[in-house]
């Protein structure tokens, strides 16, 4: 499936050119909420956890999982990708599309052991890529559903169904006291994590983003960047997720997030945007038009610079300053400017310097026609 440069060929089960479900810019509260995500951590009874299993055990768990996932009729089409047989380029694309974690791309078993040839896989529902199941990451199964806008209630219903279908053919590691047993005790209990990716450019401009972080920390919610733990909040995108999984039901965890925290943060961002537009509209307009100016004329662009300007354009669109532009192509560009996707579009491996040139070229081409507006 790969050409000599290691890039996915025409027979690739995933269309890496297409936008993923979480980039559509549709759904509830899509002016602030970019995407919603739910994930379940599950382990198969009778197997050691991934980090302490022998290579043979991991192979066995992978084979059992594959059989079960393929038999469970989870989506019309499901791509199965064995990551130990892929190369760095494909794994980078999967990480950038939020289909696998960085840890899974590297095949890390814990902080010190593991490597890229560890037996592991990802199953991806195509063509929308809403469902993905990492096999042999930290837990045997990490089931993920992702959607555009605020759709956590819908995701909970759907992920519950996926979970039941998989469980219909295998025994999960479960205890009456601790619930679903996971390798890391921070996930034990329901094993569920809900997350939303929020676009908070106005709170960033007013400096109130720190208040949001502090408030979320007080409620044991985590605020992270675009690419999860340890990543920066590029493009003013922040992820908020629950931290506790034991002692509360799935619905209660969801209610805490959707009932209190999220409406408050969404409300803050909207009122910050409103205030900026009312009192300092020239500042916002200047930032948005400068962003257009840079992106349509720059000859060299780093990922961060491209993302920050795209964030401003996105703000301009949702604030009604750019009626000629739509959100979805801008969201799509956020993905296409990532190093892996850029190389895929160019059809060859690029050095960092070449990437900056090609990125600037890509963005100029995609925004052509907007220039001078």
Partner 1 sequence: MLCECGLREATIHEVTITNGVRVERHLCEQCAQKLGLPLHQQAPVSEILAKFVSKQGAQSVVGPRKPTAAQCPQCGLTFAAFKGTELLGCPTCYEAFEVPLSPLLERTHEGGTHHVGKVPKRALEASRLRGPEAMEKLLGGLAERQARIGSLRKQMEDAVKGEQYERAAQIRDEIRRVSSIAPSEPRAEREPPPENPEPGGPNPHSQEPPRS
Rounded distance between C-alpha atoms, residue 226 and residue 3, angstroms:
30
* Segment contacting partner 1 by CB under 8 A, of 79-87, 121-129, 255-263, 312-320: 255-263
* Segment contacting partner 1 by CB under 8 A, of 165-173, 223-231, 318-326, 331-339: 165-173
- We find the least distance from the C-beta atom of residue 28 to partner 1, in angstroms, to be 9
Does 130 bind partner 1 (CB under 8 A)? Our answer is no
* Segment contacting partner 1 by CB under 8 A, of 129-137, 163-171, 205-213, 269-277: 163-171
Candidates 12, 75, 153, 328; binder of partner 1 (CB under 8 A) is: 153
* Segment contacting partner 1 by CB under 8 A, of 78-86, 114-122, 158-166, 327-335: 158-166
Candidates 174, 206, 213, 215; binder of partner 1 (CB under 8 A) is: 174
Rounded distance between C-alpha atoms, residue 33 and residue 95, angstroms:
21
Answer yes or no: are the C-beta atoms of 308 and 333 closer than 8 Å.
no
Q: How far apart, in Å, do the first and last CA atoms of the chain sit?
A: 43
Does 255 bind partner 1 (CB under 8 A)? Our answer is yes
* Segment contacting partner 1 by CB under 8 A, of 7-15, 62-70, 188-196, 283-291: 188-196
Does 312 bind partner 1 (CB under 8 A)? Our answer is no
- We find the least distance from the C-beta atom of residue 127 to partner 1, in angstroms, to be 28
Residue closer to partner 1 (CB basis): 231 or 243 = 243
Question: Which distant-in-sequence residues (6+ apart) come within 8 Å of 186 by Cβ?
Answer: 243, 245
- We find the least distance from the C-beta atom of residue 273 to partner 1, in angstroms, to be 23
- We find the least distance from the C-beta atom of residue 131 to partner 1, in angstroms, to be 18
Rounded distance between C-alpha atoms, residue 240 and residue 334, angstroms:
19
Binding letters toward partner 1, positions 102-121, x by CB under 8 A: --------xx----------
Does 190 bind partner 1 (CB under 8 A)? Our answer is yes
Place of tokens 């995609």: 366
Does 156 bind partner 1 (CB under 8 A)? Our answer is yes
Alpha carbon of 370 to those of 5, 143, 217, 296: distances in Å?
34, 40, 41, 8
Alpha carbon of 317 to those of 221, 297, 310, 320: distances in Å?
29, 20, 10, 5
Both tokens of 169, joined, read 């053919």
Binding letters toward partner 1, positions 260-299, x by CB under 8 A: x---------------------------------------
Residue closer to partner 1 (CB basis): 197 or 310 = 197
Candidates 63, 70, 168, 300; binder of partner 1 (CB under 8 A) is: 168
Both tokens of 79, joined, read 């791509």
Does 173 bind partner 1 (CB under 8 A)? Our answer is yes
- We find the least distance from the C-beta atom of residue 162 to partner 1, in angstroms, to be 12
Does 259 bind partner 1 (CB under 8 A)? Our answer is yes
Question: Which distant-in-sequence residues (6+ apart) come within 8 Å of 323 by Cβ?
Answer: none
Site of interaction with partner 1 (CB under 8 A): 43, 45, 47-49, 51-52, 110-111, 138, 152-153, 156, 160, 163-164, 167-168, 171-181, 183-186, 188-190, 192, 220, 243-252, 254-256, 258-260
């Amino acid at each position: 499936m790969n050409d000599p440069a290691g890039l996915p060929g025409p027979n690739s089960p995933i269309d890496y050119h297409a936008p993923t479900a979480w980039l559509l810019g549709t759904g509830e509260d899509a002016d602030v909420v970019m995407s919603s995500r739910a994930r379940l951590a599950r382990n198969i009874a009778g197997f050691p956890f991934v980090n302490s299993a022998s290579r043979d055990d991991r192979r066995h768990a992978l084979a059992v999982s594959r059989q079960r996932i393929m038999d469970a009729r989870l989506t019309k089409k499901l791509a199965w990708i064995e990551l130990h047989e892929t190369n760095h380029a494909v794994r980078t694309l999967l990480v950038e599309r939020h289909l696998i974690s960085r840890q899974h791309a590297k095949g890390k078993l814990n902080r010190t052991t593991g490597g890229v040839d560890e037996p592991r896989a990802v199953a991806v529902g195509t063509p929308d890529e809403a469902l993905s199941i990492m096999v042999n990451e930290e837990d045997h199964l990490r089931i993920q559903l992702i959607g555009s806008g605020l759709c956590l209630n819908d995701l909970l219903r759907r992920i519950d169904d996926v979970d039941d279908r998989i469980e219909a053919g295998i025994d999960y590691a479960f205890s009456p006291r601790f619930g679903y047993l996971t390798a890391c005790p921070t996930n034990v209990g329901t094993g569920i994590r809900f997350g939303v990716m929020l676009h908070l450019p106005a709170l960033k401009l007013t400096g109130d983003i720190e208040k949001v972080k502090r408030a979320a920390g007080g409620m044991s919610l985590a605020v992270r960047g675009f690419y999860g733990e340890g990543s920066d909040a590029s493009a003013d995108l922040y992820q908020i997720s629950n931290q506790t999984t034991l002692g509360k039901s799935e619905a209660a965890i969801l209610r805490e997030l959707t009932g209190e925290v999220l409406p408050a943060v969404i409300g803050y961002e909207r009122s910050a945007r409103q205030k900026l537009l009312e009192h300092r509209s020239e500042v916002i307009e200047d930032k948005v038009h400068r962003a257009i100016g840079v992106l349509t004329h720059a000859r060299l662009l780093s990922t961060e610079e491209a993302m920050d300007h795209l964030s401003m354009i996105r703000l301009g669109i949702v604030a009604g300053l750019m009626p000629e532009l739509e959100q979805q192509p801008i969201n799509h560009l956020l993905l296409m400017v990532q190093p892996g996707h850029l190389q895929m579009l160019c059809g060859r491996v690029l050095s960092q310097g070449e990437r900056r040139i090609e990125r600037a070229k890509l963005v100029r081409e995609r925004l052509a026609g907007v220039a001078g507006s």
